[in-house]
Structure 1
């Protein structure tokens, strides 16, 4: 009786999480299409008299918060790689090593997914739109692309992925070490919020672009985790 119950739990949890993912995506689209939040938040950092975002090239936001946080995320990836190698001959730490071994490639996959979707996007950055001093026409998600959409390639937010890719660590650790999983979650959300806010302040992205990045990063990690666990159950069975 124990095995069917365990199998039912293993199947029902991903289904519940899938519904949560669908609901979260619907909320992001609702926010972008039917609320003024994107424009209202971005407008706080726009100077209509100068027709520009004053903090766009300000050293703190452009160098420290933009470039610096990106390199921090890269440094974390390499530090985890070294940690993963150092745990190779420590049998008691193999669950942690497997979690790190999952996190490293999945974080890269999430970043690649965001970059690929961004490259295909027709949505331009706020600083390029005629609403905020540029010349491109604004359009919402799922609207017809206007005649002058600008250069595009701005949704989702690539920079916010520097933080949100570490949601893979939370997904990997939640069945191994609850405290470590919550620490990974907090780190990812804080770094993602900071990198996302940086680009909003600079006029590079709307809030919905940042939230979409968070959703994609978690969805990639969730899908990889679900497929991996299904594969392990198949091998065990």
Structure 2
């Protein structure tokens, strides 16, 4: 919970700086974003990233039901698989309700929409919307659940999984920033939402453990 609160404070600080548009201007201008349809960003890292996420989800599902297991129980693996799926649905669900348009829709980047901060719920930018937070970044951040799954059993592995997921999520975020599909904060909020969801799921798991002493679950704090 402390990590989630600290990250939320940092997010608020980032929002206050207004650096979203500054960073976007490094990669785009009035003519648009040159890397929007580039093979590296669009085909390899965007479309390929989605396929990688589906493959990772399928592998997690297979790992949860396979008969031989060391470490977390099948019940725990299924529980955190459910959290992964929930995270992958939470962010796109919020995005679908959002009135915030993408950077490539803004007039300063060749579009026809005025900039309105995504936290300004009282105003609309007049564009197509549905661009906050980052749905592509959640293809990685949803797997933050792996850290919580393995933390009580193999802390070193859990930390490596955490670094890998965060690194991949930031790369996916950069891809969408380079394409003009998202601002940096869109990626940061996706990460925070997935982490907060995992934190809540871990608290619920510990509560269930206290209510069911016959099913011991190692508890690790961090």
The normalised TM-score by structure 2 is 0.89
1:124–1:154: 8 Å Cα contact kept in structure 2? Answer: yes
1:64-103 equivalences under 5 Å are 64-86=44-66, 88-90=67-69, 93-95=70-72, 97-103=74-80
Residue 128 of structure 1 pairs with residue 105 of structure 2: yes
1:137–1:146: 8 Å Cα contact kept in structure 2? Answer: no
Give the structure 1 partner of residue 13 of structure 2: 30
- Larger displacement relative to structure 2 (182-191 or 195-204): 182-191
Instruction: Say which structure is richer in helix.
Output: 1
CA distance in 1, matches of 2:212, 2:121: 47
How many equivalent pairs are there?
214
Residue 165 of structure 1 pairs with residue 142 of structure 2: yes
CA distance in 1, matches of 2:73, 2:44: 32
CA distance in 2, matches of 1:140, 1:120: 15
Cα offset for 1:94?
4.9
CA distance in 2, matches of 1:63, 1:228: 39
Residue 150 of structure 1 pairs with residue 107 of structure 2: no
| 1:179/1:89 CA distance change after superposition, 3 Å | same
Given the alignment, which residue of 92, 95, 116 partners 1:118? 95
Q: Any gaps of 5 or more consecutive residues in structure 1?
A: 1-16
CA distance in 1, matches of 2:207, 2:129: 38
Cα offset for 1:99?
4.5
Cα offset for 1:163?
0.8
1:106–1:221: 8 Å Cα contact kept in structure 2? Answer: yes
Cα offset for 1:141?
3.9
2:33–2:180: 8 Å Cα contact kept in structure 1? Answer: yes
CA distance in 2, matches of 1:137, 1:102: 43
Cα offset for 1:135?
1.1
1:27-66 equivalences under 5 Å are 27-32=10-15, 34-48=16-30, 51-66=31-46
What SS is found at the alignment partner of 2:212?
helix
Q: In angstroms, what is the RMSD of aligned CA positions?
A: 1.9
1:129–1:138: 8 Å Cα contact kept in structure 2? Answer: yes
What SS is found at the alignment partner of 1:156?
coil
